Amino acid sequence: MRVSTNSLYLNNLSNMMAKQNALNKTQEQLSSMRRVNSPSDDPVAASQILDQTQADSRIQQFNQNAKSAESALALTEVSLQSAGDLLQRVREMAVKAGNTALTNDDRKMLNSELEGLYKQLLGTANTLDGNGKALFGGSISQTKPFSELVQFGTAVAAGSSVVQYNGDANRQEMLISSSRQVPVTENGDYAFGRITEGNGVFKLGAGSTLSNVQVDLGSVTNLSAFEAQTTPPLALPSGSLSQPGAKIEVVFGSEDDGVAGTALEFNQYYDVVLFDGVSYTSLVTGKSGATQAAASDLYTATAEQVASGNPALGPFAKSYPKFQTGTDITLNFPTNPAPYDINYGAKFSVASEKPTAGGVLTLEPSKSRSIFDTLNDLSRVLQSDVATPATSTDFANRLGNVIANIDNAQTRLLTVEARIGANRREADTLVEVGDNFSLQYKAILSRLQDVDVASAATELSLAKVALEASQSSFAKIQGMTLFNYI
């Protein structure tokens, strides 16, 4: 068989190029430490490598987000702890202010310290993160969440506030996994603003004729009963009244037997009256009317009995509960005739030997109040002139309400702090889970693309030998010609 010189050269050149390419590929694998450097090296493995790389990249981004979220939440948690410490100091001051040994000047000195704590608390509520974004502005992070409307210690109208919330009710969220977003900012209005006053369901207040009566905060013993029995006309599931002006009133009456020439003292028996803004209904007897019953009506006395004081006519029919100082007034009255045996699920007590004749206490649904308004209320209390028994009782009632509202504010801060702590733990957990996933992805990538150094080194040696042999063979064949024999 005859082989042309041109074919001989082309065949040997092609053979050497193939061996050179094999050598280059092995050298590239060893230098990059990767078995697959281009899709053509292994199309199936290259596709799997792309999928695993993208999955690992997503995990890395989620982990970075989770770490950023954890950092923001940690700063928020520290801010709330600082606010809690400030409130604890405020509460200690409020308790100290109740010491009867303090003078008006002593309380004014406490008020000076209180103003400093108020400013610190306001600054805490306006805390910014490292990027200058507000932590307590909701989704509005570029605006200071709280701004003052009036000077601290100034009287404000009912329904008004000393501060204004400039944020919103939303919270900025960060994606920390394919299916989970965690909030990284807080609704400051919830944390510092909309805090229910009193016992959280209703509040007590003495009327102008009961300035000598000191009352506690009351409590709800059966919330479902309280809500069910006062709807309608008093609806409290959401903490609001079904009609403007609705309230419950406790009217104090007399225990006198109507002795002629003796004044009735309306201070021993009481009726609990529901006023829906239009009419009055006794929660004891079920009787209703357009006007509230007079205190003397708490007895079923006749005009003849009162006028004559004749014992033969008998004492007044004591059909209402009797008041005793410090004893709970419970909204749970078994009465006759039926169907007025009703459990209203609430109670409170009055610390007074003789409430003012015909005096009235009111029970109204608790309203929302900000922490800053509570501190302002305390400032107003500390500025009060406590000179008479009446002002002293009023001072004690107002101070008791403030302390209760401080307790409610502390509870709210702890609630928000607990929620943030849970989010921090979740972010930390997802970072750990993400790291584990990333390790798995990297292990799979290593199996798919990393080169076996020992095997590649052996292949490199063989490729070198093959290339050198091909070159040597071609050189010898190239020197063979008939001209050498002519």
Last residue of a domain, one of 335, 366, 397: 366
CA distances, 221 to each of 128, 224, 228, 320, 400 (Å) = 42, 9, 13, 21, 20
Is the peptide bond between 334 and the residue preceding it cis, with omega within 30 degrees of 0?
A: no
pLDDT for the residue numbered 254: 53
Within-domain flag for 79: yes
Residues 177 and 231 in one domain: no
Here the CATH number for the domain that contains residue 162 is: 1.20.1330.10
Q: What pLDDT shows up at residue 52?
A: 79
- One domain for residues 358 and 209: yes
Q: Please identify every stretch of the chain with a pLDDT value under 50, giving residue numbers as ranges.
A: 208-209, 229-244, 257-258, 260-267, 299-318, 333-343
Q: What is the DSSP string of 451-471?
A: --HHHHHHHHHHHHHHHHHHH
Closest to 147 measured CA to CA, from 161, 166, 171, 129: 166
Residue 242 lies in a domain: yes
Domain boundary among 305, 335, 366: 366
> What confidence score (pLDDT) does residue 83 get?
96
Residue 371 phi, psi dihedral angles, 5° rounding: -60, -40
Q: Give the separation between CA 167 and CA 146, rounded to whole angstroms.
A: 8
Which amino acid is residue 265, in one-letter code?
E
Identify the pLDDT of residue 199: 75
- Sign (positive or negative) of CA dihedral 43, 45, 46, 47: positive
186 shares a domain with 156: yes
**CA–CA dist 391, 399 (Å, integer):** 12
Q: What pLDDT, on a 0 to 100 scale, did the predictor assign at position 311?
A: 40
User: Does 226 map to a domain?
Assistant: yes
Residue 423: closest CA among 32, 77, 28: 77
* Separate counts of helices (H) and strands (E) for the chain: 9, 16
Q: Residues 241, 358: one domain?
A: yes
Q: How far apart are CA 64 and CA 426, in angstroms?
A: 14
- Of 344, 366, 388, the last residue of a domain is 366
29 found inside a domain:
no
The answer as to whether 105 is a domain residue is yes
Q: Which domain holds residue 338?
A: 201-366
Query: Is the same domain home to 343 and 208?
Result: yes
pTM summary value: 0.69
**Together in a domain, 236 and 224:** yes
Residue ranges of alpha helices (H) inside 134-222 are 188
Q: Please tell me whether residues 322 and 409 are part of one structural domain.
A: no
In a shared domain, residues 356 and 380? no
Q: Is residue 33 part of a domain?
A: no
DSSP assignments along 293-349, one per residue: PPGGGGS---HHHHHH--GGG------SPBP-TTSEEEEEE--SSTT--EEEEEEEE
- Same domain as 433, residue 339: no
- Neighbour tally for 129: CB within 10 Å: 17
Phi and psi of 282, rounded to 5°? -75, 130
Interatomic CA distance for residues 263 and 475, integer angstroms: 141
- CA–CA dist 427, 438 (Å, integer): 16
- pLDDT of the residue at 234: 38
User: Do 86 and 93 contact (CB within 8 A), yes or no?
Assistant: no
- The reply to whether 13 falls in a domain is no
Give the pair of three-digit tokens for residue 359: 């005096």
Centre a 10 Å sphere on the Cβ of residue 475 and count the other Cβ atoms it contains: 10
Write the CA distances from 85 to 89, 91, 121, 472, integer angstroms. 6, 10, 10, 88
pLDDT of amino acid 235: 34
Are residues 406 and 354 part of one domain?
A: no
Q: Do 398 and 335 share a domain, yes or no?
A: no
172 in the same domain as 82: yes
| Domain count of the fold of the chain | 2
The answer to whether residue 16 sits within a structural domain is no
